[in-house]
Chains A and B, each alone.
Chain A
Amino acid sequence: MENKLTRSLYAVPYLLWIILFVVAPILLVLYYSFFNIEGQLSLSNYEKFFTPVYLKMIFSSFWYAFLITAISLAVAYPAAYLLTKTTHKQLWLLLIITPSWINLLLKAYAFLGIFGTYGAANNFLEMVGIGSKQILFTDFSFVFVSVYIFIPFMILPIFNSLNDLNPTLLDAANDLGASRWTTFRRVIFPLTIDGVKSGCQVVFIPALSLFMLTRLIAGNRVITLGTAIEQHFLVTEDWGMGSMISVFLMITMVLIMMLTGSRKRGA
């Protein structure tokens, strides 16, 4: 009996945390989303959301988030694979993770200098004879910097699942006459799919609502749902519309989690 009591006592901080900082804010956001700019209860935000302006914004958010995730994955998987083959894995991993300790804003500002008209990147292009190009404020620079920022979060889960892979399975595949490509396709990839999934979740979801980079690196030429939320809260003070977009993002995230979540393997 006492054991049960202490156990529920231990649960109190956790429950308080969840209620105060997870459940309550979500309910508040949901609540605000039903108020129009005049402060009246209405569904106008939901109507407004399905106008061409916002639909276009949703499309571009998803498109860029997809690009960022796909490119990160394409870079991260081979990188993680190579990492598991090196002798000082943990050191290499640490080196890859280190940049994520630096503040995002600082990194973005650094790219302003590197990609600028007179920046290092253009100096290099000039030197190799291509001639300087506009790099800053283009789609390319936006995707490039986002990928750079998200890559550690993609590598980490993939590295972990590759690292946990039992090497005898690869030997077995080899003994049974599988080519290297078949081994990768039939053995390695299926066994690390959970790492890939969680890597994609960790990248795709924040990428959907990126807002600062859209201004700093893309010069507001890329508009995502995150930019719209920021504007509605800080400039327009239309909290209802901002909340509505957040609700949409949350629903999308839950759906993505459900679709990519690891199902119990059995039967």
Chain B
Amino acid sequence: MSRIFRFFIAIALVSGVLLYAISSLNSEQGYSGENTLTIYNWGDYIDADLINRFEKETGMKVIYETFDSNEAMMTKIKQGGTHYDIAIPSEYMIDKMRKEKLLVQLDHSKLPNLKYIDKRFMDLPFDPKNHFSVPYFWGTVGITYNPKMLNGKEIDSWSDLWDPELKNQILLVDGAREVIGMGLNSLGYSLNDTDKGHLLEAKNKLDSLTPNVKAIVGDEIRLLLENQEAAVGLVWSGVASEIMAENEDLEYVVPKEGSNLWFDNMVIPKTAKNVDGAHQFINYMLDPKIAAQNTEYVSYSTPNKAALQYLPKEMVEDERFYPSSELTEKLEVYENLGKENLAYYNELFLQFKMHRK
């Protein structure tokens, strides 16, 4: 008994000492009060060198945390346990957070560098007049494929995927909006269509794709495509550029019927303690040279028009990742369709998954 008791005392003592050490270390390094900036971002989605530089320039301490889904991020911000000063959600989530009053309105006078952002990417329906968010990166949804595995066959439209030659060769990403959206686009409907008849039609069209679909997977899709597990994949452009860097045989195409245009924007959540520092950080990231360096690291498409001149030519002129404005005209941004419609999308997606060959 006394041995167990002593054991517990020892554990309590060790924890106490460690706690004290952490708090004294934190205050020594300035990790307290107004002088810190907590950033909440997707994993591996910023050049860490830029954070160091920001710390040096401003004397602020940056705490960097990551999330892997918009939903998880929103849940954590709603609970408000951590005081995130900056978060980088995707567009539909910004609309949702804006409506649930989870965001702080931006003070544009503190963001002079906002002028460098391409006008195409400003004032979009999910955040009119950019009251709450500033574009960070953007991209498309499209098809990545391996011409070598397909004997040189080229793909440039959604309907090409229905070719019987592609039997068991397609990997789809596990997202209801992406997959149902593909069905809608291939029928010429809008990605934000909420007409039940149209959606059902899209689902039936997708059912007929089943023999070609090898699997519907999550993040593993990168690994699987890289390893040539399948020749074709429905992916986001960011994923495509990453795997194309690993496997040079792969190609990426934005289907000509149209597709999705997505954004990840910087916002200041209501949990922010250091609103001023957050503005400073956003403005810093909008600086053309900084944005260019970040783009080279992350390799997604930057919305910063002035940054393009600092980027390698072959990167900027790559129509696959910087599509012409004629093509972007045809692309649609996801609108927040509301819970009920989203539930219907998911219901149909579930039915599509259950459809057997």
Contacts and interface: CB of A to CB of B under 8 A. Distances in A.
A112 B220 contact: yes
A56 interface: yes
A2 interface: no
Contact of B174 (A215, A228, A236, A237): A215
B227 A116 contact: yes
Nearest to B357: A221
A175 B215 CA distance: 58
Contacts of A228: 350
B30 to A, nearest CB: 37
Contacts of B65: none
A235 interface: yes
Contact of B354 (A56, A109, A116): A56
A53 B227 contact: no
Contacts of B347: 53
B343 A220 contact: no
A221 to B, nearest CB: 7
Contacts, number: 73
A233 to B, nearest CB: 9
Interface in B112-161: none
B346 A223 contact: no
A117 B354 contact: no
B43 to A, nearest CB: 16
Interface in A207-236: 215-216, 218-221, 223, 228, 231-232, 234-236
**Most chain B Cβ neighbours within 10 Å, of A56, A60, A231:** A231
Contacts of A232: 346
A37 interface: yes
Contacts of A220: 174, 215-217, 353
Nearest to A214: B353
Nearest to A116: B229
A173 B351 CA distance: 56
Given A112-B220, A236-B342, A238-B343, A219 B354 contact: no
A235 B350 CA distance: 12
A22 B176 CA distance: 33
Contact of A237 (B218, B339, B351): B339
B343 A236 contact: yes
B343 A219 contact: no
B223 A112 contact: yes
A131 to B, nearest CB: 15
A137 interface: yes
Interface in A40-76: 53, 56-57, 60
B249 to A, nearest CB: 14
A53 B228 contact: no
A98 B127 CA distance: 53
A57 B223 CA distance: 29
B247 interface: no
Nearest to B345: A236
Interface in B21-72: 69, 71
Interface of A: 37-38, 53, 56-57, 60, 109, 112, 116-118, 134, 136-137, 215-216, 218-221, 223, 228, 231-232, 234-238
Given A112-B220, A220-B174, A220-B215, 17 more contacts: A38-B339, A38-B340, A53-B347, A53-B350, A53-B354, A112-B224, A118-B227, A137-B214, A215-B174, A219-B171, A219-B214, A219-B216, A220-B353, A223-B353, A231-B346, A236-B339, A238-B339
5 pairs of A and B residues whose beta carbons are closest in the complex: A219-B215, A220-B216, A137-B215, A236-B346, A236-B343
21 contacts: A37-B339, A37-B340, A56-B354, A57-B354, A112-B220, A112-B223, A116-B224, A136-B229, A215-B174, A215-B218, A216-B217, A216-B220, A218-B215, A219-B214, A221-B215, A228-B350, A231-B350, A234-B71, A235-B176, A236-B339, A236-B346
